[in-house]
Structure 1
């Protein structure tokens, strides 16, 4: 299922199954049937329809939403091999740890809020009539070392713009991983019809601003004293990349 496609349902049973799995990221098949209180035949028919329409995947009895966000890409430098791929629910803990590693050193309020949202919702990817989000991760030997995230509003008037966050663990910075992550997210956004992507950071985060500007992002606005960091009011810089 494409993230630009809003899920629609033929039956109430199908909608109930999808919404439970979507809210929880993944769910055991037998647990979904218990919670929805559907009889076995009704449950099987509704689940089969959701799988046929590309809404859900069944991985050995574990259900998860099916989002088509691309393939696995491998990269190598002189001393490092890493992979960039779509994130799944199994990356949850690694994502949280990586975001916290990045925000512990640099002030990145939007990324901090994403971590809190992940913890609250206990789901990596979301896709419903109100919101949609996807993550790509960079991994080294299977461990998450970086992320890029796209928040994709489903409101018609906002569907052509997206909000991006990106970060790489301190031990893996300055190796080109961040640039590859941004390229992956922008490539996906352009291919899916988005016309502009935003990233907002405190004006004190000089490194993040310089990184984005070097890749063609432009400052589109400044919100005065938008953040309270310590005892100081700090401006927010809104950077944008237009296709």
Structure 2
């Protein structure tokens, strides 16, 4: 598995991945945020690749010197193999390289079930930013 920044050629594969693993409502809000983040800073969109094909993605953003994990998705056949954890750690590294003051996990009704993944990566309830409004992702 290789972790790298998003490339334009990944777009159709990532859309397919999102459609497969996210609910319809989650897909719609994620696509809006994904587009905004790509226009602002595509280095905070990290892709996990296996056999030259994207099998996972994580979207992060920075707002007011704070890093936010926004959405993570791993293809069904590749889940529970450490890909999600690797994506979380790689994005944390990018946040740290940019010297953010604090890193949060954005929590909404779509990603509540995967909070244990973030906890296993070292995050705790005080690191969860509960946003039931649309993340302004975040505000540029």
* Normalised TM-score (structure 2): 0.75
Q: Does 1:116 align with 2:32?
A: yes
User: Within 5 A, what are the aligned runs for 1:78-117?
Assistant: 82-104=1-23, 109=26, 112-117=28-33
> 1:145/1:124 Cα in 2 relative to 1: closer, same or farther (>3 Å)?
farther
Q: Distance in 1 between matches of 2:2 and 2:31?
A: 22
**Contact 1:148–1:181 under 8 Å retained in 2:** yes
Q: CA deviation at 1:167?
A: 1.7
Structure with the largest fraction of helix: 2
Q: CA deviation at 1:124?
A: 6.9
Long gaps (5+) in structure 2: 134-140
Determine which of 78, 94, 102 is the counterpart of 1:172. 78
- In structure 2, what is the equivalent of residue 181 of structure 1? 87
**Contact 2:37–2:61 under 8 Å retained in 1:** no
Q: Distance in 2 between matches of 1:217 and 1:184?
A: 14
Determine which of 38, 52, 62 is the counterpart of 1:125. 38
**Contact 1:162–1:196 under 8 Å retained in 2:** yes
Q: Which runs of 4+ in 1 moved over 6 A?
A: none
* Normalised TM-score (structure 1): 0.46
**Contact 1:84–1:137 under 8 Å retained in 2:** yes
Structure with the largest fraction of strand: 1
Deviation by residue 1:151-179 (Cα, 9 ceiling, x = unmatched): 223xxxx1x11221222111100001111
**Contact 1:89–1:125 under 8 Å retained in 2:** no
Deviation by residue 1:8-40 (Cα, 9 ceiling, x = unmatched): xxxxxxxxxxxxxxxxxxxxxxxxxxxxxxxxx
How many residue pairs match? The answer is 129
Larger Rg belongs to: 1
Question: What's the C-alpha RMSD, in Å, of the aligned pairs?
Answer: 2.9
- In structure 1, what is the equivalent of residue 120 of structure 2? 214
**Contact 1:100–1:112 under 8 Å retained in 2:** no
- In structure 1, what is the equivalent of residue 67 of structure 2? 162
**Contact 2:89–2:121 under 8 Å retained in 1:** no
Partner of 1:125: helix, strand, or coil?
A: helix
- Tell me which of the two structures has the higher relative contact order, counting C-alpha pairs closer than 8 angstroms and 6 or more residues apart: 2
